[in-house]
Amino acid sequence: MRSPANGPARAQAHGVGVIWWPELDMLCRPAEGLVHVIEVEPETFWVAREDTPDRFTSPLSQKLLHLPQPKLLHGVGAPFGGNVLPTVGHRESLASDIAALQPDWVSDHLSFNQFRRIGADNAEPINTGFLLPPAQCADGVAVAIEQIRRRRVQTGLPVAFEVPVSYLPRRPGEMADGSFASAVATEADCGILLDLHNILCNERNGRQTMAAFCASIPLDRVWEIHLAGGQEAAGLWMDAHCGLVEPVLIDLLEELVPRLPALRAVMFEIMPDYIESVGLSPIAAMLGRLNDVWNRHRPLADAPMSRRTSASIDHIEPGQVALTETAPPQVNSGDMSSAIWESAIGAAVVGIPRPELPSFLAGWVSDAKDRLSIYRNYSQENRASNFVETTPQTIRHLLRHIGETKTRALLGRFYAEAMPAFAASVDARGFLEFLAASDIVSDGLDDCIASDRALLAASSRIST
């Protein structure tokens, strides 16, 4: 097994790649010469098993078998910025994908997507349905460091975190975006996945500028860059992954690449819903431009990815340390903690009563209610989009027979009764059960529900 702390100390410089979706597969063919590394978000492909919904099957090894490029895994389900630990089922499925795809490193977001209510330490975590910004304070740094160290122990691989995007206004007294990322990277001795569109969003939405952010992080820890396109909504610039990369980001990439000695990959990401409207030809032309930048400023192939030399928890082999969750820290009225931040922000997003908050935070939460509602809308739209994929016949039937307005109202009733599930397939089963027990009368709906249930059951039996 490779050393969790150091291996591989010197990874291949892979080059330009994409976050893989089936809709991009044609551009990933080696003959095209555009995509030299494939990155995949594993949790988006996992299906919860019908008999044990906290365990998952993964089709990734079969889906990517035809692509010879090196693979990377970029998590979206168990981020590093919160107190809730990944489940055993998540760790097992991630380990299975790692064994099959053999990535040089793994990454995840410096965000959170689950929380526990303050005062309910033994309760099940509540899923938010969307990645939310972390608590940028000393306790938030400590939580992220521990999560990253655990992931390194569990996977036996180097770990990088993606710098977060935030649509929230700055909280008085919080750490600056770059200072927070720098503290986590330095103390955890890990890599940075520098998402340039995230920091562009932060700048345009009134947070730290891109220049100040890049000046405050250790550039020699940047292993990977993400690039994407966005759009304006609700008066903010959103990280929607909906188009091509802006020229300002390509210019920044050209400036940065020569200054990043440990850079190994530059990845373009776009959501599959937008690929057809953007077009494969424009995406191919943009990938060509990214390859030109990479080839002009190719990083050193043998620069080390980690300088760790001292003994630490990360040298312990998986299985030699108890990976159990610790209780959330106690909150004093004048202190900021990640646990109370997660509970306050998470409650606002899922629409439950917020906890009792210290005065310094309660006022800020009230002032930020419009920004928090944006996250709530995104969480609900994300669930609706998942239902289109996981319960296609039922959703088509509802749209055809009761219309979009009533379908959205029906979804609103479901959201009020059921918190988001960790896995889209579990949420889909809950939605179908809700419909089957509802007072909706529509000829053929029962057949559609039965068909989608069968589809979910079949997908959960995919062999790993």
The C-alpha atoms of residue 429 and residue 291 are separated, in whole angstroms, by 43
206 within some domain = yes
**pLDDT mean over 298-309:** 54
Tell me the percentage of the chain whose pLDDT exceeds 90.
79
- Identify any residues that bridge with 162 across adjacent strands, giving them in sequence order: 109, 193
User: How sure is the predictor about 118, in pLDDT bands with cuts at 50, 70 and 90?
Assistant: confident
Domain boundary among 315, 340, 368: 315
User: How sure is the predictor about 302, in pLDDT bands with cuts at 50, 70 and 90?
Assistant: low
332 within some domain = no
Q: Answer whether 73's CB lies under 8 Å from 39's CB.
A: yes
Instruction: Answer whether residue 319 shows pLDDT above 50.
Output: no
124 within some domain = yes
137 with 243, same domain: the answer is yes
176 with 277, same domain: the answer is yes
What pLDDT is recorded for position 97? 98
438 with 293, same domain: the answer is no
- Identify any residues that bridge with 47 across adjacent strands, giving them in sequence order: 57
- For the CA atoms of 64, 67, 73, 75, what is the dihedral angle to 10 degrees? -50
Q: Answer whether 16's CB lies under 8 Å from 37's CB.
A: yes
| Residue range 172-184, pLDDT digits in tens | 999 999 999 999 9
Domain boundary among 262, 282, 315: 315
346 within some domain = no
Q: Which stretch of 9-18, 182-191, 380-389 has the lowest confidence by average pLDDT?
A: 9-18
Q: Answer whether 178's CB lies under 8 Å from 214's CB.
A: yes
Q: Answer whether 32's CB lies under 8 Å from 281's CB.
A: no
**Can you tell me which residue has the tokens 């940047």?**
222
294 with 404, same domain: the answer is no
363 within some domain = no
Instruction: Answer whether residue 6 shows pLDDT above 50.
Output: no
| Residue range 37-51, pLDDT digits in tens | 999 999 999 988 888
Q: Give kind and range of the element (H or E) at residue 139.
A: helix 138-155
40 within some domain = yes
134 with 221, same domain: the answer is yes
Count Cβ atoms within 10 A of the Cβ of residue 361 and give its class: 0-12 exposed, 13-18 middle, 19 or more buried: buried
User: How sure is the predictor about 335, in pLDDT bands with cuts at 50, 70 and 90?
Assistant: low
Model's pTM, two decimal places?
0.89
Range of the domain at 308: 15-315
143 with 281, same domain: the answer is yes
**pLDDT mean over 288-295:** 96
- Helix ranges (H only) for 205-309 are 210-216, 247-256, 272-278, 280-296
| Residue range 408-448, pLDDT digits in tens | 999 999 999 999 998 899 999 999 999 999 988 889 999 99
What pLDDT is recorded for position 325? 40
311 with 449, same domain: the answer is no
Q: Answer whether 234's CB lies under 8 Å from 264's CB.
A: no
396 with 303, same domain: the answer is no
**pLDDT mean over 151-176:** 97
Spatial CA neighbour of 157 closest among 318, 45, 40: 318
Domain count of the chain?
2
**pLDDT mean over 307-312:** 34
Domain boundary among 291, 315, 339: 315
Token pair recorded at residue 438: 């509802």
257 with 402, same domain: the answer is no
Q: What is the CATH number of the domain that holds 62?
A: 3.20.20.150
What pLDDT is recorded for position 306? 53
What pLDDT is recorded for position 331? 36
| Residue range 230-251, pLDDT digits in tens | 999 989 999 999 999 999 999 9
Interacting residues of 211 by C-beta distance below 8 A, sequence separation 6+: none
Instruction: Answer whether residue 201 shows pLDDT above 90.
Output: yes
295 with 411, same domain: the answer is no
310 with 398, same domain: the answer is no
5 within some domain = no
**pLDDT mean over 314-326:** 34
Q: What is the mean pLDDT of the chain?
A: 89
326 within some domain = no
The C-alpha atoms of residue 352 and residue 142 are separated, in whole angstroms, by 27
Q: Answer whether 61's CB lies under 8 Å from 100's CB.
A: yes
**Can you tell me which residue has the tokens 């959205």?**
408
157 with 263, same domain: the answer is yes
Please give the DSSP secondary-structure letter assigned to residue 326: P
